[in-house]
């Protein structure tokens, strides 16, 4: 049984640990989003929605808590989409040519990069989650230790499946391009509509009908659904809107992420089988 993908995995993780500025820089942006945008917008929404009557028996959360779940998802999105960049650098430096010419199956390259990217997403999501709680995000309010453990595992499960999908997509794009600038342009083009056409920052019921339909098919929306379900609860009120998530809706969101990840793996596998690295 081949475990060559572990070599790819450890090599990328060692590089990630040694270049600590990469980890720090990947955490600065979401931390700033929560520290400045989240706190400022929370104060604004608290002034705009004081007259919205609370629903009896339903907990009301502030905008910071609502948005913090979206920032965790945003961090995962950015990390995953740019995860394939290491392949492009290895290709330009000639390292990928040696790997592709070895007896190592090509799908192991995909698995190694995906596994390292998923590990990075776990690390970053955990750090951002803790940072959000320190800032005042009311995650796991009223939860027991056992419930917190199950909820964190649930969040990481959603983060893991989501990150795999976009890591496979990123790997497929990276193996098809020659220029890091070209890939960075494509990634930037993808992140904006994916992020803003989701429920990460605001309720989707305020969107026009077309954008609401786009949001339903947006994997980021379903990741945010999972994070909020486990971190906040299955029912709550935020920004004057009542949110209720049933187990069936949670399962649907998870299924969408699984189907997306499988489809992106198929795309990455197809591109790697046809790739010619010189």
Separation of alpha carbons 230 and 149, rounded Å = 10
- pTM given for the model: 0.88
Which residue bears the tokens 């999972």? Answer: 226
Cα 169 from chain centroid (whole Å): 13
Do 121 and 159 contact (CB within 8 A), yes or no?
A: yes
Instruction: Give the pLDDT band of residue 1 (cuts 50, 70, 90).
Output: very low
Question: Could you report the per-residue pLDDT of 203-221, keeping only the tens digit for each?
Answer: 888 788 888 889 999 999 9
Q: What is the mean pLDDT of residues 15-20?
A: 74
Closest CA to 4 of 127, 147, 111: 111
Give the SS3 label for residue 1.
Answer: coil
Q: Which of 60-64, 144-148, 161-165 has the lowest mean pLDDT?
A: 60-64
pLDDT digits 0-9 by tens, 29-81: 777 777 777 677 776 666 655 556 666 677 888 888 888 899 899 889 988 88
Per mean pLDDT, which range of 65-74, 146-155, 236-245 is the poorest? 236-245
Report residue 18 as tokens: 């040694």
Write the pLDDT tens digit of every residue in 88-106.
777 766 666 666 666 667 6
């Amino acid at each position: 049984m081949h475990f060559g993908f572990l070599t790819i995995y450890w090599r990328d993780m060692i590089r990630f640990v040694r270049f600590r500025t990469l980890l720090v820089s990947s955490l600065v942006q979401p931390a700033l989003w929560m520290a400045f945008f989240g706190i400022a917008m929370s104060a604004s929404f608290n002034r705009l929605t004081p007259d919205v009557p609370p629903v009896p028996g339903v907990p009301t959360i502030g905008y910071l808590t609502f948005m913090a779940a979206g920032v965790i998802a945003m961090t995962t999105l950015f990390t995953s989409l740019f995860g394939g960049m290491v392949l492009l650098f290895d290709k330009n430096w000639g390292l990928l040519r040696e790997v592709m010419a070895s007896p190592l199956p090509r799908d192991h390259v995909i698995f190694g990069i995906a596994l390292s990217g998923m590990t990075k997403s776990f690390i970053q999501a955990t750090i951002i989650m803790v940072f959000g709680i320190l800032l005042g995000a009311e995650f796991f309010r009223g939860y027991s230790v056992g419930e917190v453990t199950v909820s964190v595992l649930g969040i990481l499960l959603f983060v893991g499946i989501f990150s795999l999908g976009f890591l496979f997509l990123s790997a497929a794009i990276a193996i098809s391009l020659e220029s890091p600038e070209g890939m960075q342009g494509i990634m930037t083009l993808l992140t904006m509509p994916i992020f803003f056409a989701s429920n990460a920052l605001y309720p989707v019921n305020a969107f026009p009908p077309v954008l609401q339909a786009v949001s339903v098919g947006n994997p980021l929306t379903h990741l945010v659904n999972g994070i909020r379900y486990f971190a906040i609860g299955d029912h709550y009120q935020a920004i004057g809107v009542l949110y209720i998530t049933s187990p069936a809706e949670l399962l649907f969101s998870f299924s969408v992420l699984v189907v997306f990840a499988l489809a992106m793996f198929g795309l990455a596998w197809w591109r790697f089988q046809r790739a010619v690295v010189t």
